[in-house]
């Protein structure tokens, strides 16, 4: 029997993209955590210098948002 179109829509356009996105984040996060454990200065550099300072300071020569 043919599945209900609503069920097929949910499976195709909601469940699979959400599942693959969560899997991608899980793989990336585990990789980042491993690198942060093996090299602690990397976490400080990436989190503070590259993310926070880039947005919240003028360190990178960016005085305007765009």
Tokens at 16, concatenated: 């699979």
CA torsion 28-41-47-59 (nearest 10°) is: -140
**What would you measure as the largest C-alpha separation in the chain, in angstroms?**
62
Burial class (CB in 10 A: 0-12, 13-18, 19+), 32: middle
Q: 7-64: per-residue pLDDT in tens?
A: 888 888 888 988 999 999 999 999 988 988 999 898 888 888 888 887 777 777 766 6
pTM exceeding 0.85: no
Dist CA 63 CA 46 (whole Å): 20
Q: Are 54 and 60 in contact (CB under 8 A)?
A: yes
């Amino acid at each position: 029997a043919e599945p209900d179109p609503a069920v097929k829509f949910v499976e195709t356009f909601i469940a699979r993209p959400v599942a693959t996105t969560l899997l991608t984040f899980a793989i990336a996060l585990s990789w980042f955590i491993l690198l942060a454990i093996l090299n602690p200065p990397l976490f400080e550099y990436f989190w503070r210098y590259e993310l926070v300072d880039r947005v919240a300071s003028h360190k990178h020569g960016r005085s305007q948002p765009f």
